[in-house]
Structure 1
Amino acid sequence: MINNQELIFAVDENNQPIESVVREKAHAEGIWHRGTDIIVMNDKNEILCNKRSMLKVHSPGCWDPAFGGHCLAGQDILENARQELFEESGLNAKPEDLEFVETIKWDNGLNKEFRYVYVYRWEGDLKDLKLEKEEVDEVKWMDLKNVAANKNNKAEWSPMPYIDLLIKRFSN
């Protein structure tokens, strides 16, 4: 659920904890904070991309190769990744099934985040997903290279600062 007033975990430019702040304030004032990106991939290295709801503040109506969100105040990062994946897709990942890729320091103007990137392998049927309509309009499988080809297409795609890491790690 979208809640711009929730308390998130603020950090300094070295990812050291500072305090809890309201999410809206973190974005408005350029305060560093933490978030998670969970990339769902199948055995063909296709990515389960989601079309962001028009209700989203950032990149509404755009395609996104990751599920994820902001780490709440006091929340464990891995637990946040599991929670965000479940809330947005209905996928209930065990901690050991989330493969940690890397932490990315991402500065997109006022949105300054340390993004913890995970990959979750899934081979299920799209009909079994339970999409959170406030966050996700639709999903579809897309080839990793096709997703990467859109990394600069800001009109139709949400920013994906981790895509080069995925190409390097998972391209055949």
Structure 2
Amino acid sequence: MEEYVVLVNPEDKVLGVMEKQQAHISGLLHRAFSVFLFNDKGEMLLQQRASQKYHSPNQWTNAVCSHPRAGETYEEGAKRRLKEELGIETELSEKFNFIYKADVGGGLWEHELDHVFTGIYNEDFHLNENEVQEVRYISMQDLNREITETPEKFTEWFKIILEEYKHNF
């Protein structure tokens, strides 16, 4: 099934839709969301992307990153992808949004108006192996150390969004 993204201008006015991979090749601005989940210890959930993903395979990133569908709110999309990728449901709170552009390799770009959500989750996961290899919780101190020591193990967008998150909190 082809996936489409919603193309927007910097003020989030809808300009149309485009097939997802084509939008990533063209580097056009589109809607996205990112979810940061934490456990009761304040540790952040990371997911390792599946090896068959068409870009950034095997890299670690935040709980969920994806795109709302046409007619879907950012929060609805975020909750849908939590269920599809991690097999979970939890309450989310939108924290901020911003625009970024990142080269993700292979001639592909993430150019996104990204709405960032947070939530708390302490239960079991039911991973979709087509999307996620594994998950783990990590302290912010250990995460910062790992990103400094081995930045290539993390998605480009996660490093950008994490820095923006730190500036907002």
Query: TM-score scaled by structure 2?
Result: 0.86
**1:101 alignment partner, one of 95, 99, 104:** 95
Report the Cα distance in structure 1 between the residues aligned to 2:96 and 2:11, rounded to whole angstroms: 15
Partners of 1:9 and 1:74 within 8 A in 2: no
**Alignment counterpart, residue 45 of structure 1, candidates 34, 38, 42:** 42
Structure 2 distance, partners of 1:49, 1:169, is 20
In structure 1, the gaps of 5 or more residues are none
Range moving further from structure 2, 153-162 or 21-30:
153-162
Asked if the contact 1:105–1:114 (Cα under 8 Å) also holds between the matched residues in 2, the reply is yes
Partner secondary structure for residue 162 of structure 1: helix
Pair 1:133 & 2:129 matched: yes
Unaligned runs of 5+ in 2: 104-108
**1:1-172 matches, cutoff 5 A:** 5-93=2-90, 97-109=91-103, 110-124=109-123, 128-151=124-147, 153-159=150-156, 160=158, 161-168=160-167
Q: TM-score, normalised by structure 1?
A: 0.84
Amino acid at match of 2:122: E
Contact 1:151/1:163 (8 A) holds in 2: no
Does the 8 Å contact 2:43/2:138 carry over to 1? yes
Measure the CA separation in 2 of the matches of 1:14 and 1:144. Answer: 32
- What is the identity, as a one-letter code, of the residue corresponding to 1:122? Y
C-alpha distance in 2, partners of 1:150/1:9?
A: 33
Deviation per residue, 1:123-158 (Å, 9 max, x gap): 22xxx2110101100111111222233446442111
Between the two proteins, the alignment pairs up a number of residues equal to 161
The structure-2 alpha-carbon separation of the partners of 1:58 and 1:148, relative to structure 1 and needing over 3 Å to count, comes to farther
CA deviation map 1:19-70 (0-9, x unaligned): 0111111111111101111111012210111111011122110111231211
Percent identity for Structure 1 against Structure 2: 24
